[in-house]
Structure 1
Amino acid sequence: MSPEHSTRTGKDKLVYMANQIARFFEAMPRDEAVEGVAKHINDFWEPRMRRQFFEVVDAGSEGLSPLVREATAKIRRPAQHVA
């Protein structure tokens, strides 16, 4: 793991990962790209990760690519964790 990668916070890592997913889908037509990003996050991110992702979104989506921001409407928001 690179030093840069190991110094990121949990939310920073999620933003980085979401943007990496978006980069993969960028070459596709926009509708397919949005669907692809949302499907990947819905299928492979556990509720805890999506919960943290939506904390970033709710705080203003700082750092998220435009494609990820657009896909957010199609990403399943998990129930809030009650401790």
Structure 2
Amino acid sequence: MSGGVPPVVRLGHDLVRNFEALPPEKAAVELATHIRKFWEPRMRQELLARIRWGDTSLHPLLVRAAEDLVDGDVDRAEVREPSGG
């Protein structure tokens, strides 16, 4: 861990920094797409759990992106397509 920040939070915030120059709605879609395609299910589940628990350390754009995620939801056809992230 980096300074006590859980890895899923640190990685999520790293992604936010990469996409936050985009308009918020597009950034949220790109974040969700990247998370869905590249994060393992345990990481996605931890992120969703932190949101359900009301973790206030999460960047609002990361929370907004997670609204598009569902536990265990991966579209295999989409994984084959390149993403912006």
* Pair 1:18-2:12 in alignment: yes
Deviation at residue 16 of structure 1 after TM alignment: 1.0
TM-score scaled by length of structure 1: 0.76
- Identity score, percent: 30
Note if contact 1:61-1:69 (Cα within 8 Å) is conserved in structure 2.
no
Q: Which residue is equivalent to 2:50?
A: 56
Q: Which residue is equivalent to 2:33?
A: 39
Q: Which residue is equivalent to 2:64?
A: 70
Partner SS, residue 37 of structure 2:
helix
Q: Deviations over 1:9-38 (max 9, x none)?
A: 6xx110111111011100011111010110
Deviation at residue 66 of structure 1 after TM alignment: 0.9
- One-letter amino acid of the counterpart of residue 45, structure 1: W
Larger radius of gyration: 1
Partner SS, residue 54 of structure 2:
coil
Deviation at residue 72 of structure 1 after TM alignment: 1.3
TM-score scaled by length of structure 2: 0.74
Q: Which residue is equivalent to 2:22?
A: 28
Q: How many residues are paired up? A: 73
